[in-house]
Amino acid sequence: MLVLRVLATESLHGYAIAQRIAQRSGDALRVEEGSLYPALQGMLIEGWVRAATATSDTGRTVRRYSLTAAGRRKLESERQRFRATVRAIDLVLANG
Amino acid sequence: MGAIARLGRRLLYLLNRRRMDAELREEMAAHREAMEDPARFGNDLRLRETARALWGWSWLDALIGDLRLSARGLRRDLRFTVTAVGVLAIGLGVAALALALRRTYAPEALPYPDAARLHHVSYAPPGPWEPSHIARIDWPTLDDVVEHAITAAPARLYVPDEGGRPPLPVRALRVSEGFVRGLGLRAAAGRTFDAADLAPGGEPVAMIGHSHWMGRFGGDPSIVGRSLSLSDESGERTEFVRVIGVLPRRFFFGRDSRDSVDVLLPLHQAAQTYLVRLWPGVAPTIAAQRITQATRGVTTDLPADWTGVRLEAMPDRQFAALRPMLRMIAIAAAGALTIVCLNLAVLVLLRSLRRRKDIAVRAVLGASRLRLIRLGAADAVLLAAAGGVGALSLAHVLLRTAGPALAIQLGRPSPRGLDGVGVDGTVAATIGALALLVAVVLAVIPRIAAARDLSAELRGSGRGASAGPVMRRARGALVALEIGGSLALLVGCGLTVRSAMNLAERPRGFSPHAVLTARLAFPGTAYPTPEALLGLYDVWRDRTEEATSIRPAFANWPPFAEPPLHEVTGDDGTAIAAGAVAISDGYVATMGMALQRGRDFTSMDRVGGAPVALVSASLARTLWRDTDPIGRTLRAAAPSPRGTPDVRQYTVVGVVDDVRRSFDDADLREYYTSWLQHPPDRFATLYVRTAGHPATWARTLDGLTATLDPRIRVGLARAVRDDDQEARETRFLVTLFGGLALFAVLIAVMGLMGVTAYAVQQREREIAIRMALGAEARLIVRHILRGAAWLIVAGLAVGLLAALAVGRVLASRVYGLSASDPVTIVAACGLLGTAALAAAWLPARQAATEQNFSRLRDAD
């Protein structure tokens, strides 16, 4: 979901996606950065993102990922589901 | 929708895997480089593996890995691989051959849709007459059973001279609307006849045959719309027709695919109908009854004992004669394939025994049983695939090169034409399925046996002890079965070959070798009286004899067909049926028949002279017992539909040897009348005895004839021997089954050789110790042979039972010997037993004579 959200505003390559997530979360959500790639492959299969070849700042060929229409729909439904979950947890916590 | 798109993306990935993987590696590397702390990236390789697995193709990688590993193993074991694939290719190849032949002579191969509903109509038994006026049958009144009456009248037409060349004969057919619709006629170019073309009074149109189109017009599509001129035999009447279409490539109409049609024209008058298409579900017997009634309605001269109309389905008429042969080939192919499978099972079993240690080590190193089974399956699949491909190539090459010869030997070209015998998709698919079945059997058999022994294996490893009792029994049983199967096949082949040769070796009473035949057609209008025509025959024969010193003879009946029967009566009034043939003077000598007594016909036995006859020895014996038939009177009555037979009297002037027209010709009573005493016809079939090639001879004759009268036509000359359908079948049978018999022996020998070699190898140590202790090589060999002999005896015993069963199946096709012919069976047992003993002796001998002390040392 985070990856989808980041790609919703602009198309980015792998390193930039990781950077953007780190920035937005204020370095709170730091994971093994490599695991981004299997996740991206999965999204390619599902058709949520598409990839185009580009050149990185360091001169290497990289793939630039962008969101597809299906990806946008997926992001929207994920966001709603997440909000609903959070609301429910909130409710539980508030009553406790 | 989503699922399909996903599958599409996965497939796209599969096709571009290498590039996609490289891209992933590249971007991961880029990512790492850009990071301040590359260690936080994670394990590169593991991540890539995970990503790759996501696409769902890892099973394919595993499969390819298995196949690659198995291929490497098979390459190392080259002798085994080549033998196994070779044997399988031959076994499946024979099966492919049988299947291809079956497909070629099947209703689907006919150039008409739904040919099973097409029925031939015979109004009377084959013979000199048929009911009159049958052309008047009103077919529309039968339209509740007959969908289409397929009427075709053949016409001999010629393309008139084009710049001095002689007129070109074309096979023309005038056809009804029922022909066009009933045969589902299509056009390869242009169109077929429509109602307007077929209606009388329209513009004369024609379709031309495909080969005619190719041969005469080079396949030029602009032929459609052009005008052709066609003349009759005399060249006096010429008609002009416009070509509207071309017939499909493999279209034919008649006995078989050699009866191609050059020109198809609309039929504008009544003609006899010999082919009908019945409505679906109509029983032929019902239809035959209705047609019989209709025939009674139009015919006035039916004999009292007329049995009515008979219908014969087109596929039966085309293929019934071939079916026993095709069935025998199929049975033989199935037998060959069975022993091939047994042989392969033995080979694979022995190989898995040789590789026991290898497999056990893998198991210890942690290969799961599933993985071991997968490896075994990969071996089996590779072998079966290679065998299947080999088989199809073998069958393809064989049919491409020998197909036309095969079709000629079978006596019937395929409905698809001489080049139409081949491996098609169905055959390939069936062979593929068979190969898969073989693969399953090959994968399963050694596993079942090996699974029990596997754990025990490592414990005993290095000791060189023979395999467990299960294995030993299994391979013993397989080899015995293999020998048994081979014996059954060998006996079957032996019976077939011997029976065929028995038939072929009977004296025929004539020798058709070096005899050529051709058809002669004289122009009718120029020689209107019989005398004039007869005079022309005389001149023609004299001229030919002067020029080539060969005097052509004539006969009205071919030597390999049963002649029509006449009722003949001797002096004492006993009447019997005898074959009647008219032959000219010189025919007896030309055909190599022997004159027993009396004289041959002379050129003086002609119209106007006293009627004379020759009789066969059998007829003479029947009519006149032991008395001299020369000078006796023979009365012969030719059947006629009106019930008053045409009776003639002849004086017997000679007796000739009996002529066997077919191998099992039982009725040898025939009489011959002088060809020159029958009113001559414009057509005659000539026979000459010459060693020359038919084509050369025909050219000579053509030139000669042209100087006499250019309108005389000499048809295609051919060797009389080629008409001998049975001799061809015999040659074919002997070749095919002789080859199969050889194959059966070879297979059995291979199986036993492999098993003995393995047993000897297993007992290397024991043999070496015995030798070291002073045992003679002879004794060792005898010891090993004793083990093999048990297998051979058991195998022969099983085979004997199978052979008796095979004999029972063949009983109706076996001539001149019993189906359980002891000579054949004993010979087959002897041959197979000797070959098998030799196969066991070779490796035994080798083991006993080699220097064994070194082996004893190195054994571990």
Whether the CB-CB separation of B772 and B856 falls below 8 Å is answered with yes
Query: For tokens 């599958």, what's the residue?
Result: B7
A-chain residues near B9 (CB < 8 A): 44-45, 47
Flag if B47 and A35 touch (Cβ within 8 Å). yes
Distance between CA atoms of B850 and B841, rounded to whole angstroms?
Answer: 14
The pair of three-digit structure tokens given for residue B611, joined into one six-digit string: 């009627």
Given this model, what pLDDT does residue B179 score? 92
Which two tokens mark B262? 């050059």
Q: Which two tokens stand for residue B598?
A: 């009396």
What's the token pair of residue B566? 């006449």
Rounded to an integer, the average pLDDT of B595-609 is 87
The partner residue sitting opposite A56, judged by closest CB among B9, B23, B30, is: B30
- Chain B (33-92) residues lying within 8 Å, Cβ to Cβ, of chain A: 33-35, 40-44, 47-48, 50-51, 54-55
Distance CA B486, CA B328 (A): 16
Q: What is the pTM of this model?
A: 0.68
Whether residue A29 is predicted with pLDDT greater than 80 in this model: the reply is: no
Residue in the block written with tokens 């598409």: A50
Q: Which helix (H) or strand (E) holds B274?
A: strand B273-278
Closest CA to B112 of B189, B185, B193, B188: B185
Contact yes or no for B788/B847 (Cβ under 8 A): no
Chain B residues touching residue A41 (CB < 8 angstroms): 24, 51, 54-55
pLDDT computed for residue B360 by the predictor: 76
Contact with chain A for residue B240, Cβ under 8 A = no
Distances in Å between the Cα of B751 and the Cα atoms of B666, B784, B800 are 46, 16, 18
Compare all CA atoms of chain B with the CA of A39 and give the residue at the minimum distance. Answer: B51
Yes or no: say if A7 and A24 are a contact pair by the CB < 8 Å rule: no
Residue B464: the pLDDT is 42
Q: Which residue has the tokens 């002609």?
A: B606
Contacts with A37 from chain B: Cβ below 8 Å:
24, 27-28, 31, 47-48, 51
Note the helical H segments in B220-299. 284-298
CA–chain centroid gap for B616, Å, is 36
Mutation site for B-interface testing, chosen from A29, A32, A33 by largest number of B Cβ within 10 Å: A33
What pLDDT is stored for residue B467 in this prediction?
Answer: 52
Asked whether B605 and B612 are in contact (CB, 8 A), the reply is yes
Q: Which two tokens stand for residue B22?
A: 């490289």
Average pLDDT of the segment spanning B10-18? 81
A14/B44 CB distance under 8 A: no
Which residues of chain A make contact with B48, given a CB cutoff of 8 A? 37
User: What's the confidence (pLDDT) of residue B462?
Assistant: 43
pLDDT tens digit sequence for B775-824? 777 887 888 888 888 888 988 998 888 888 888 777 776 777 887 888 88
Distance from CA of B371 to the nearest CA of A (A): 28
Six-digit token string for B144: 């509740």
Asked whether B300 and B101 are in contact (CB, 8 A), the reply is no
Q: What is the pLDDT of residues B680-730, one digit of tens each?
A: 777 788 898 887 777 788 788 878 887 877 777 777 778 888 777 777 777
Residue A34 touches chain B, beta carbons under 8 Å: yes
Interface test with B, best of A17, A45, A49 (most B CBs within 10 A): A45
Specify the pairing of strand B205-208 against strand B238-246: parallel
Please give the structure tokens belonging to residue B841: 């002796």
User: Are residues B31 and A47, on separate chains, in Cβ contact within 8 Å?
Assistant: no
Structure tokens at B301: 């001269």
Q: What is the mean pLDDT of residues B154-178?
A: 79
Give B41→chain A minimum CA distance, Å: 5
Q: Are strands B273-278 and B633-638 parallel, antiparallel or unpaired?
A: unpaired
Nearest CA in chain A to B8: A45
**Cα maximum dimension of chain B:** 129
CA distances (Å), B763 to each of B295, B347, B572, B586, B783, in order?
84, 19, 86, 77, 12
B244 vs A21: which has the higher pLDDT? B244
Q: Which of B442, B429, B139 is nearest to B271 (CA)?
A: B139
**pLDDT surpasses 60 at B860:** no
Distances (CA, A) of B417 to B41, B105, B625, B646: 71, 11, 51, 43
User: Rounded to an integer, what distance in angstroms lies between the CA atom of residue A49 and that of residue A73?
Assistant: 11
Contact A33 B34 (CB under 8 A): no
| Stronger pLDDT, A19 or B294, i.e. the higher one | B294
Give the closest residue to B720 by CA, choosing from B551, B501, B561, B497.
B561
Residues of chain B in contact with residue A47, where contact means CB-CB under 8 angstroms, are 2, 5-6, 9
Q: Which two tokens stand for residue B37?
A: 């702390």
Phi then psi dihedrals of residue B524, to 5 deg: -75, -45
Rounded Cα–Cα distance for residues B679 and B676 (Å): 7
- Higher-confidence position of B468 and B773: B773
Q: What is the pLDDT of residue B418?
A: 61
* pLDDT above 70: residue B471: no
What are the contacts of B18-21 at 24+ separation with CB within 8 A? B21/B48, B21/B52
Shortest alpha-carbon distance between residue A89 and chain B (Å)? 32
**What per-residue confidence (pLDDT) applies to B643?**
56
Give the model's pLDDT for residue B465: 43
Does B24 contact A37 at a Cβ distance shorter than 8 Å?
yes
Whether the Cβ atoms of residue B130 and residue B299 lie closer than 8 Å to each other: no
* Number of residues written out for chain A: 96
Handedness of CA B265, B268, B274, B278 (dihedral sign): positive
A27 touches chain B (CB under 8 A): no
Contact A63 B10 (CB under 8 A): no
CB–CB of B81/B385 below 8 Å? no
Would the pLDDT of B129 be above 70?
no
Number of residues that this document lists for chain B: 860
Lowest mean pLDDT among B481-485, B555-559, B570-574, B704-708: B570-574
**B21, B31, B44: best mutation site toward chain A, by most A Cβ within 10 Å?**
B31
Tell me which residue has tokens 């079942």.
B448
Considering only CA atoms, which of B685, B746, B743, B680 is closest in space to residue B716? Answer: B685
Cβ-Cβ contacts under 8 Å, B39 against chain A: none
Rounded CA gap, B746 and B738, in Å? 12
Over range B586-610, report the average pLDDT: 88
DSSP state letters, B116-171: GGEEEEESS-SSS---TTGGG--GGGGTTTEEEEEEEEEEEEEEPPSTTPPPEEEE
User: Is A60's CB within 8 Å of B35's CB?
Assistant: no
- Confidence band (pLDDT; 50, 70, 90) for B120? very high
Tens of pLDDT, residue by residue over B316-332, are: 888 887 887 788 888 88
Q: Taking each helix axis as running N to C, give the angle between helix B323-354 and helix B725-762, from 0 to 180 degrees, rounded to the nearest 10.
A: 10
B405: confidence class by pLDDT, cuts 50, 70, 90: low
Instruction: Write down the residue that tokens 């042969």 correspond to.
Output: B325
User: Parallel, antiparallel, or unpaired for β B646-656 and B683-689?
Assistant: unpaired
Residues of A in contact with B41 (CB under 8 A): 32-34
Rounded Cα distance between B140 and B147, Å, is 9
Residue A60 C-alpha, separation from nearest chain B C-alpha, in angstroms: 6
Element (H, E) at B382: helix B369-409
Average pLDDT along chain B: 81
CA distance B236 to B840: 81
Q: Do residues B628 and B622 make contact, with C-beta atoms less than 8 angstroms apart? A: no
